[in-house]
Amino acid sequence: MKYRKWMTVGAALAFLFTAQPVYAAPVIVAGAGAPGTEGTQTAGEQQAQETVTQAPGSSQDPASSETAVAAQSPTVVSGQGQNAPGSGNSGSGAPTSNGEVTGIPEGPGGIKSEPVDPVTPEELAAQEAAQAAGTQQSTAQSTGGIDPSKPMVALTFDDGPQPSVGNRIMDCLAQYGGKATFFMVGERVGSYKTEVQRMVAEGHEVANHTMNHKYLQKLGAAQIQAQVNQGNDAIQAACGVRPTLLRLPGGNHNSMVVANAGMPMIQWNVDTLDWKTRNADKTVAAVLNHVKDGDIILMHELYGATGDAVARIVPELHNRGFQMVTVSQMAAAKGKTLEAGKLYSSFN
Ligand SMILES: [Zn+2]
């Protein structure tokens, strides 16, 4: 009986952590989700981008330079059928500023153990009954109650945590039952553990945006691995959950990055350019004028205007029947396997 009890607890815990990804068949794409933009830049354009990035020591965000590449084109849609990973984007179109986050007190303390929510006997009984009911249950668990037959979208927020905006985003999502994915910079999370813990508690996905927001295509293998691993360590230390997804700063990559990331790399196919416009109307339009089933939408957690935009975007997506899901939930619902060392920009 003891064995059976532990098996039951295990099943219940598995249910509680359904936000974790279930890996299934990949859509492989390359590029920053802006097809053609990186490859078509002129040297002059690159220079121009490099000169507009923020000064060191600014409290501004790494994102002000991050999506400079994508800024060459308006909102971009879809990324399927692009070149395979490692096929050679050498990062030539990437801005060179390293976009470091500055002025943030250093972070992670000791690794905490994984939080374990109490499971009531009623929940255990319900779980057992559900398991006995049939094999469909495992599918329902893996998709977190998402209906794969209905449209869904993954809202993603980079460069946080930033409680002044992130908590507003979560407040809004909570009203409509939506979930988001937060790609966070490792060196920031130690200062904002409460917010990161809230993300986990409310079913959002905590994901890695490297330790220091370094442009990885400029680094060697060991440095790339360190940026990824330290980012994962910092997030795990803050909230108890180790990320399973990576977003590359700027979306920048080359064959060295792809070979050493060690995680699925999540790009995007709708770029709001919120970091650039800092204008809620434009961010709202960038999403609502283009959004479709399977999109991965890029926004940034650092800007008040983005929080304003989310407060308008989320209710409208809900009205249109979109399920707002995490990246891992969407991959699972679409039957896609997320594999380490591969890039994904949408699940259309
Ligand atoms: Zn970023």
Residue 224 predicted with pLDDT over 60: yes
CA contacts within 13 A on the Cβ side of 106: 3
| 150 is a domain residue | yes
Could you tell me if 231 and 206 are in contact, meaning their C-beta atoms sit under 8 angstroms apart? no
Residue 272 predicted with pLDDT over 70: yes
CA of 294 to the centre of ligand 1 (A): 22
Catalytic center residues: 158, 300
CA of 69 to the centre of ligand 1 (A): 12
β partners of residue 160: 184
For 164, the domain range is 22-117+145-344
Could you tell me if 241 and 216 are in contact, meaning their C-beta atoms sit under 8 angstroms apart? no
How far is the C-alpha of 242 from the C-alpha of 227, rounded, in Å? 14
pLDDT tier, 125 (very low <50, low <70, confident <90, very high otherwise): low
Residue 333 predicted with pLDDT over 60: yes
Residue 335 sits at the vertex; the CA angle it makes with 252 and 126, to the nearest 5 degrees, is 120
Reported as a single tens digit per residue, the pLDDT across 279-289 is 999 999 999 99
pLDDT computed for residue 121 by the predictor: 53
Q: Point out the least confidently predicted range of 84-93, 272-281, 306-315.
A: 84-93
Please provide the distance, in angstroms rounded to a whole number, between the alpha carbons at the two ends of the chain: 46
| 274 is a domain residue | yes
Reported as a single tens digit per residue, the pLDDT across 153-184 is 999 999 999 999 999 999 999 999 999 999 99
| 239 is a domain residue | yes
At 219, which helix (H) or strand (E)? Answer: none
- List, in sequence order, the alpha helices (H) in the chain: 2-16, 43-52, 63-66, 121-133, 136-142, 163-176, 186-189, 193-201, 221-239, 255-260, 274-277, 280-288, 304-319, 327-333
The model scores a pTM over 0.75: no
CA distances 339 to 24, 262, 344, Å, are 8, 9, 9
Which backbone phi and psi does 340 adopt, to 5 degrees? Answer: -60, 140
| 81 is a domain residue | yes
CA of 121 to the centre of ligand 1 (A): 43
How far is the C-alpha of 123 from the C-alpha of 190, rounded, in Å? 33
| 126 is a domain residue | no
Residue 247 predicted with pLDDT over 50: yes
pLDDT computed for residue 145 by the predictor: 83
The three-state secondary structure class of 156 is strand
Reported as a single tens digit per residue, the pLDDT across 9-37 is 444 444 444 444 433 333 344 333 333 33
- CA quadruple 238, 199, 32, 256: dihedral sign: positive
CA of 215 to the centre of ligand 1 (A): 9
| 260 is a domain residue | yes
Q: What CATH code is carried by the domain that includes residue 71?
A: 3.20.20.370
Q: Of all residues in the chain, what percent carry a pLDDT higher than 70? A: 59
CA of 99 to the centre of ligand 1 (A): 8
Return the HEC string of 161-178: CCHHHHHHHHHHHHHHCC
| 307 is a domain residue | yes
- When divided into structural domains, the chain yields a total of 1
